[in-house]
């Protein structure tokens, strides 16, 4: 028969084993289950995104895997939602054939560092708002391990305010820019034509002798799944607006690839228009277009208030 001291030791040993197993299971399944652990820290940062929070856990539990792959394609139901945000009326079968061609060229699996107790992945998500002008945020942005930029996002001549480091660059055909060989291209396809454009940009490069079209490392291409777009629209934004903005989807995506997130360059001007730090706004009646800018901004503020992100509002 066990003594009281032996019994206490056995209980403590079991509790420790359960704790270690729970943490290991979470690290393994963070992408599969999209839910938060309720015990301890899962990264080496002072405060980790993946620490349990009921509100955020509820939002993220229904999330699909963010990136498209041959083993992570979309359902016909999701395709029909995606078709609703575009003018392309080609069918699901044509879409699937296009995706097959995509993965004959680009990586079939997205690899990046996952949350680990011995790693702290700090990220700067840099939008293009005019509030970056005069902010002097550049050195702070570049100090992060990962810097995510969006659409055209020029850095030359704006280094003092926006920095010059880029790890991931989010874009779609209407906003593309050439990338160096070390930057990940995170491609947001809003229609079948976008996927075709991506294919053509690489397969026709030799014919064009690289005189035009997108230039990037094809082995570092990551394609956002339309299922993730639908998830952000339906779960986060409650179907407000026609579809989420590229910036807001990038921010939600960063919750998956970062342990600590700092957000720069988001928000409209004093008249409610989205403006850019690198150009003078022309259409002052556009506001936030087809996107629910007000609701997106409210979510950013709430994430900041809950200390899930650090939101730098600019000047």
243 is an active site residue? yes
Q: Is residue 28 situated within a structural domain?
A: no
- Does residue 24 belong to any structural domain of this protein? no
In 10 A of CB 153, how many CB atoms? 22
> Which residues lie closer than 8 Å to 49 by C-beta, 6 or more apart?
43, 255, 258, 259, 260, 261, 308, 309
pLDDT mean across residues, the chain: 83
Q: Is 291 a catalytic residue?
A: yes
Our count of domains for the chain comes to: 1
pLDDT greater than 90 at residue 18: no
Q: Does residue 3 lie in a domain region?
A: no
Query: Is 246's pLDDT higher than 70?
Result: yes
Distance CA 258, CA 278 (A): 27
Between helices 192-203 and 92-102, what is the axis angle to 10°?
30
Rounded to the nearest 5°, which phi and psi values hold at 18? -65, -40
Q: Which residues pair with 224 in a beta bridge?
A: 67
- For CA atoms 222, 225, 231, 237, the dihedral sign is positive
Q: Which residue has the higher pLDDT, 106 or 31?
A: 106
What is the C-alpha to C-alpha distance for residues 68 and 103, in angstroms, rounded to an integer? 10
Domain that holds residue 121: 34-312
Residues 6+ apart with CB under 8 A from 127: 150, 247, 263, 264, 265, 266, 267
215 pLDDT more than 80: yes
Query: Model confidence over 174-211: pLDDT tens digits?
Result: 999 999 999 999 999 999 999 999 999 988 654 454 45
Catalytic residue among 243, 256, 277, 278: 243
**Residue 129: strand pairing partners:** 276
Local confidence band at 46 (pLDDT 50, 70, 90 cut-offs): confident
pLDDT tens digit sequence for 111-154: 777 788 888 999 999 999 989 999 999 999 999 999 999 999 99
Tell me which residue of 42, 11, 44 sits closest to 29, measured CA to CA.
42
**How is residue 153 written in tokens?**
């996002």
11 falls within a domain: no
pLDDT at 87 over 50: yes
Q: What's the CATH number where 226 sits?
A: 3.90.1480.20
Q: Are 147 and 165 in contact (CB under 8 A)?
A: yes
For the segment 61-73, the average pLDDT, to the nearest whole number, is 94
Q: Looking at the predicted structure, is the pLDDT value of residue 16 above 80?
A: no
- Whole-angstrom Cα distance, residue 240 to residue 299? 13
Q: Answer whether residue 4 is part of any domain.
A: no
**Catalytic residue chosen out of the listed positions 144, 184, 233, 291:** 291
């Amino acid at each position: 028969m066990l003594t009281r001291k032996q019994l206490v030791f056995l209980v403590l040993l079991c509790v420790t084993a359960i704790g270690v197993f729970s943490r290991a299971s979470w690290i393994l399944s963070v992408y599969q289950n999209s839910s938060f652990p309720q015990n301890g820290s899962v990264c080496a940062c002072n405060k980790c995104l993946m620490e349990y929070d009921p509100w955020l856990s509820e939002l993220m539990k229904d999330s699909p895997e963010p990136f498209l792959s041959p083993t992570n394609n979309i359902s016909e139901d999701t395709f029909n939602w995606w078709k609703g945000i575009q003018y392309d009326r080609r069918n699901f079968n044509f879409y699937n054939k296009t995706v097959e061609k995509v993965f004959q060229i680009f990586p079939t699996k997205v690899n990046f560092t996952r949350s680990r107790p011995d790693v702290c992945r700090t990220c700067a998500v840099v939008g293009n708002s005019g509030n970056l002008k005069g902010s002097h945020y550049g050195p702070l942005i570049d100090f992060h391990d990962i810097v995510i930029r969006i659409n055209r996002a020029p850095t030359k001549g704006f280094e003092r305010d926006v920095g010059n480091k880029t790890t991931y660059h989010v874009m779609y055909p209407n906003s593309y820019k050439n990338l160096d060989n070390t930057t990940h291209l995170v491609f947001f396809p809003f229609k079948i034509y976008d996927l075709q454009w991506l294919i053509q940009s690489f397969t026709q490069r030799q014919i064009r002798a690289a005189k035009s079209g997108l230039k990037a490392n094809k082995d570092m291409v990551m394609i956002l799944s339309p299922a993730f777009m639908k998830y952000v629209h339906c779960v986060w934004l409650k179907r407000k607006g026609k579809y989420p903005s590229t910036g807001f989807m990038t921010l939600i995506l960063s919750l998956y690839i970062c342990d600590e997130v700092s957000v720069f360059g988001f928000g409209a001007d004093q008249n409610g228009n989205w403006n850019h730090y690198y150009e003078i706004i022309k259409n002052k009646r556009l506001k936030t277009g087809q996107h629910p800018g007000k609701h997106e901004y409210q979510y950013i503020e709430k994430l900041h208030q809950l200390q899930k992100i650090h939101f730098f509002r600019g000047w």
